[in-house]
Each structure stands twice: as structure tokens, then as C-alpha cells.
Structure 1
């Protein structure tokens, strides 16, 4: 009997909390229109620039729009999946801008820049996956713990792989034994 009351109280509190933070359809539409207007204004400002600076500006404007839309969706229909999508949108936007900034470089410096950007992107996406696993409900605490542990394990492997590739790319400017030592150090550091 006491468990039933606790369960009902928990469900009621959850529903009230969700409805208190959820947006109405008119609020959602107004916010979406504001995001579109902000994107158009930001994009128009980019037209005054030239070359890669214009490209970077355009990627930043598009990234801000994508992130704002994903965060708006997460506020409109709150869920672990919506929060995950917002985190991934932020990671993707940051990655697009970082890659564009790498275009100002050339040769190995550009390659290293791209690998570093990819490593940061992978890290952000994997962290989002772990957060999503932590937010997901589970039948038992043990099941949730296992799911989170698995997500962390997978995330660590992906992050290490991306960081290893970036570290290895830095070694490409070296030659001979120094390059071999650099690659070996990177393998050791990132468990490859």
C-alpha cells in the first residue's frame, strides 16, 4: 500500500514537472520563427566577408541555428533522446566550424587540425551517448549500471581511437627512429 502511494506520488510529480517546463504550441512556433530570423540575420552578416572567413561565418550561423532548433525541440518535448540530439547538434556544429577553420592551413598542419577537430567531435558525441545512457530508465539499478558501464566502455574506445589518429598525424612530420618512437608513444598513450 505504501509502495503504491509512493509510486503515484512519483508519477504525479513527474507529470507536473514535465508540464511545468514543456512549451505550448504557440510558444514553440514563436521560438522557431525567432531562430529562423536570427539565422537569416547572421547569414546576411556573413555576406560582408570574403574567402574562408565568409565560409566560417556561414558555418557558425548554420551551427547556431541547428543547435537552437535542437535545444528548442528538447524544451518542447523533453526526453533523454531530445537532450541527446541537442548535444549531438552542438558537437556537429562545433565540428563543422573547426573543419572550416582548418581550411586556412595546409599540409600536415591542416591534417593535424582536421584530426584534432575529429577527436573533439568524437569525444563530444560519445559523451552525449553516455549521458543518454545515464538518463534512460531501467528495470533495475543493476541493469542501468550495466548499460552505463557499456556506454562508457564504448565511448572510451572511440575517443582513444580518434585521439590516437590525431597523435599519429602529428608524428608524420618526423622521420626515422624519432617518428617510430612518436607513433609508439601514441599507441601506448591511447591503448592501440
Structure 2
């Protein structure tokens, strides 16, 4: 065999090995829990989102065409990915409940500023609202809310940046025993942008 022939044969063998590595043989071994990747968080099974299908856009006056999918955008110089969407609006714009539930936590943090968490009635979902200018009068932990209940007002508290007024809105799929700040983040953009619920 000539040197050229040997080189061609080696390239064919390498190509065959590369092709074989891309093909899955045999049954897949199920994982005990879903892998925590951006892809699985962004596109969860639709059946699991049945209770979230009727979410309303939680900022008054914002229509689906004004939403931007900021899920996964780099933050802190690439140190983390954005696991929410930012809904831009002027200071003081009413923030309303995207869905029914119960106010589980009112919280103030360096990152989120004035925030709150609402847990769905079946406790399977958590909705997180951050950078608020303030809460609605009378809002308190344990309070039951309906879709459209006034929760607070758009602001720039926490690390939003001065005059960068928006609502940081996140949702998480909760497992039994998950506390208010836990859960598996899910991209809310497809649920809000495709929502049939209008106010």
C-alpha cells in the first residue's frame, strides 16, 4: 500500500469513528432527575406546563409583541446566565399577578432589590417578581392572589441599575419540599408571549 493509500484509509477510519460517536446505539438509560441545562429549562414538556398555560403578562399595558426573550443572556461578565425575562416599563407601572396563588415570601436582596414570590395553588410553580419600586398597599405573606391582583410597582431596586426600570420575572418548577427560593428555573417568555390571557 502506498503512503497516499494509507493516508486515505486512515482518514476513512477516522471519519467512520467520528460518525459512530454521533449515533446513539441501544436504549437510553433514564436519568433519575432531568439534567439542569439551559435547553431543558427553556423547553420543558408541555404537559408539565399545563397549569402555567394561562399566565398573564405581569406588567400593566405590556402586550406580547413588546416582550423580549432575555432568558440565558450573559450576566456578571459571563459568570452566570439570566434565568428570567426583563419586562421594560416606566417607574410605577403596576405589576400584577401572572397567575393565581399565594404570596409566599416578601424579600429584599442586593441583587433583586424589593422582591416577592407567589406559589401556585397546587404548589408546583413559583413566580418571582424583582426590582420593584414597592409593594401594593396591604400586600402580605400568606395572602391569596388571583391572576391580575395588584402586587407592586415597576422600579429599579437591587442591581437593576439607576433608571433601568423593569420587572425581572422568573418562574420555577417546584418539587415537593422545595423552599420559596428553590425550584427548577423555566423560561417564562414562551408562556407569556404566546399567552391568550389579556387584560
Question: What interval of TM-score do these two structures reach, taking the shorter chain for normalisation?
Answer: under 0.3
- Structure 2 length-normalised TM: 0.24
Q: Point out the structure with the larger strand share.
A: 2
Q: Point out the structure with the larger helix share.
A: 1
- Structure 1 length-normalised TM: 0.25
